């Protein structure tokens, strides 16, 4: 039996619901940085940053990013290294690369004006169904659905929809429903109101139904089933990778070796202290395996001198357990664009993955301690 939007929306008091939701959003909605004006560029940046990322995490990045790249022109002419540095720690780094490519296209093809047309905007890199609806409704007032995780949770409860929200088909159902109930008069407040409701009231666990402005419209609340929703299958847990990595110093200690990660895949184009997966067992073999691998891959003769720290980092789909060392590079056959010695005080200009930031912090701490001890 295929669920249809019509079946759920039929007899739903759309206008009363819209009024209750919008009124609540206008009085109780948070005063967030990207809500100060309707500049399509700022709205767009905020929506990209907010993909799979919490509001509190985004706020400082948003301020910094807009200070460095206030306009589409500024962003279009920035270099990727600078962009990645501004995105460092925010995760999902392809977001900023896609945004970069997209604003370049806006500049060249649309004269620097974010296109108001749904088809045109949604074809830009990194702009999917959610971002299309969010940006165009908030910045231009177009009555489009903007369905994210929050909205699926809210709507699953209001309409008592027990379909698995991790399925693509279910997301389409929610988009159809949202399209039918979105306010034509104020789609911006409506869409932001649904998301704000999900963030503040209709939370994943322990929803604050008594404070909810639309509880009278909510079938799950009426039947006491809000905690059963949404239905979502859990994904499989990721694997663990044991790694060896090292801060490899020049013999005079003025520089350390950095390696640029491949341009596709995990943490693409970020820099790291060379790390290798550790396949073998004991301590001695771990050091030997690492040194052999660097020699083979980069013609580098490295010598690990002392252990530095252990770093465990959990990604969405895998875990790194890094044994970090300090070492010395005896000889480099060739420095390349992806492998080079970098002065100590220049490291801060390179975008590093968070686990490698932790390694660097430990290394700096170690050096300072050694200096003060003589």
Does residue 92 belong to the site contacting DNA (CB under 7 A)?
A: yes
Closer to DNA by CB, 57 or 301: give it: 57
Residues 137 and 124 sit within 8 Å (Cβ to Cβ): no
Does residue 149 belong to the site contacting DNA (CB under 7 A)?
A: yes
Q: For tokens 């159902």, what's the residue?
A: 173
Q: Which two structure tokens, joined as six digits, stand for 226? A: 């809000």
Q: How far apart are CA 50 and CA 65, in angstroms?
A: 13
**Cα 372 to chain center, whole Å?**
40
Closer to DNA by CB, 165 or 246: give it: 165
Q: Which stretch binds DNA (CB under 7 A): 2-10, 71-79, 195-203, 280-288?
A: 195-203
Does residue 186 belong to the site contacting DNA (CB under 7 A)?
A: no
Q: CB of 247: closest distance to DNA in angstroms? A: 18
Q: Which stretch binds DNA (CB under 7 A): 87-95, 327-335, 338-346, 364-372?
A: 87-95
Stretch 14-53: interaction string toward DNA, x if CB under 7 A = ------------------x--x----------xx--xxxx
Contact residue for DNA among 206, 284, 369, 372 (CB under 7 A):
206
Residues 325 and 310 sit within 8 Å (Cβ to Cβ): no
Does residue 316 belong to the site contacting DNA (CB under 7 A)?
A: yes
Judged by CB under 7 A, the chain residues 126 through 145 that form the site for DNA are 126-132, 134
What 346-352 contacts at long range (C-beta under 8 Å, 24+ apart), as own/partner pairs, is: 347/256, 347/258, 349/81, 349/85, 350/81, 350/85, 350/258, 350/271, 351/81, 351/84, 351/85, 351/87, 351/88, 351/269, 351/270, 351/271, 352/88, 352/270, 352/271, 352/272
Q: Which stretch binds DNA (CB under 7 A): 89-97, 113-121, 282-290, 301-309?
A: 89-97
- Return the half-sphere exposure (C-beta side, CA atoms, 13 A cut-off) of residue 220: 23
Cis peptide before 362 (omega within 30 of 0): no
Does residue 272 belong to the site contacting DNA (CB under 7 A)?
A: no
Beta bridge partners of 327: 248, 304
Q: CB of 43: closest distance to DNA in angstroms? A: 9
Stretch 155-184: interaction string toward DNA, x if CB under 7 A = ------------xxx---------------
Q: CB of 109: closest distance to DNA in angstroms? A: 16
Closer to DNA by CB, 204 or 253: give it: 204
Task: Name the nearest CA neighbour of 29 among 192, 178, 205, 203.
Answer: 192
Residues 251 and 330 sit within 8 Å (Cβ to Cβ): yes
Q: Which stretch binds DNA (CB under 7 A): 189-197, 272-280, 285-293, 359-367?
A: 189-197
Q: Which stretch binds DNA (CB under 7 A): 61-69, 246-254, 261-269, 339-347?
A: 261-269
Contact residue for DNA among 14, 55, 78, 209 (CB under 7 A):
55
Q: CB of 149: closest distance to DNA in angstroms? A: 2
DSSP codes joined into one string, 244-279: EEEEEE-TTSSEEEEEEPPSSSTTTT-EES-EEE--
* Residues recorded for the chain: 374
Annotated catalytic residue 47: yes
Total of residues contacting DNA (CB under 7 A)? 61
Q: How far apart are CA 132 and CA 171, in angstroms?
A: 15
Question: CB burial class (10 A; 0-12, 13-18, 19+) of residue 328?
Answer: middle
Closer to DNA by CB, 146 or 287: give it: 146
Question: Could you give the residue numbers annotated as active site?
Answer: 47
Where do contacts with DNA occur on this chain (CB under 7 A)? Answer: 32, 35, 46-47, 50-57, 89-94, 98, 125-132, 134, 148-150, 153, 167-169, 192, 195-196, 198-199, 204-206, 232, 234-237, 264-268, 313-317, 353-355
């Amino acid at each position: 039996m295929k669920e249809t939007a019509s079946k759920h929306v039929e007899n739903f008091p759309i206008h009363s619901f819209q009024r209750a939701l919008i009124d609540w959003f206008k009085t109780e909605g948070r005063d967030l940085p990207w809500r100060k004006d309707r500049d399509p560029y700022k709205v767009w940046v905020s929506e990209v940053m907010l993909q799979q990322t919490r509001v509190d995490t985004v706020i400082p990045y948003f301020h910094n990013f807009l200070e460095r790249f206030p306009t589409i022109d500024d962003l279009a002419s920035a270099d990727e290294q600078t962009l990645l540095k501004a995105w460092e720690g925010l995760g999902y780094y392809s977001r900023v690369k896609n945004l970069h490519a997209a604003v370049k296209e806006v500049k060249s093809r649309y004269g620097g004006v974010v296109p108001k047309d749904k088809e045109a905007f949604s074809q830009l890199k990194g702009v999917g169904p959610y971002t299309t609806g969010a940006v165009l409704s908030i910045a231009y007032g177009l009555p489009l659905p903007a369905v994210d995780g929050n909205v699926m949770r809210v709507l699953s409860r209001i309409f008592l929809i027990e379909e698995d929200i991790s399925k693509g088909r279910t997301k389409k159902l929610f988009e159809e429903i949202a399209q039918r109930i979105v306010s034509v008069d104020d789609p911006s407040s409506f869409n932001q109101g649904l998301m704000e409701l999900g963030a503040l009231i209709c939370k994943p666990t322990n929803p604050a139904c008594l404070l909810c402005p639309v509880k009278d419209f909510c079938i799950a609340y009426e039947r006491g089933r809000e905690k059963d929703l949404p239905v979502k299958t859990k994904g499989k847990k990721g694997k663990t990778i044991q790694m060896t990595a090292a801060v490899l110093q020049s013999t005079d200690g003025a520089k350390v070796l950095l390696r640029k990660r491949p341009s596709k895949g995990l943490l693409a184009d970020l820099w790291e202290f060379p790390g290798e997966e550790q396949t073998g067992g004991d301590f001695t073999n771990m050091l030997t395996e690492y040194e052999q691998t660097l020699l083979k891959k980069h013609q580098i003769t490295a010598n690990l001198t002392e252990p530095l720290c252990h770093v465990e980092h959990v990604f969405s789909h895998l875990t790194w357990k890094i044994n970090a060392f300090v070492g010395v590079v005896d000889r480099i056959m060739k420095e390349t664009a992806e492998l080079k010695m970098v002065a100590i005080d220049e490291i801060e200009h390179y975008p590093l993955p968070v686990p490698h930031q932790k390694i660097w912090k430990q290394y700096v701490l170690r050096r300072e301690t050694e200096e003060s001890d003589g």
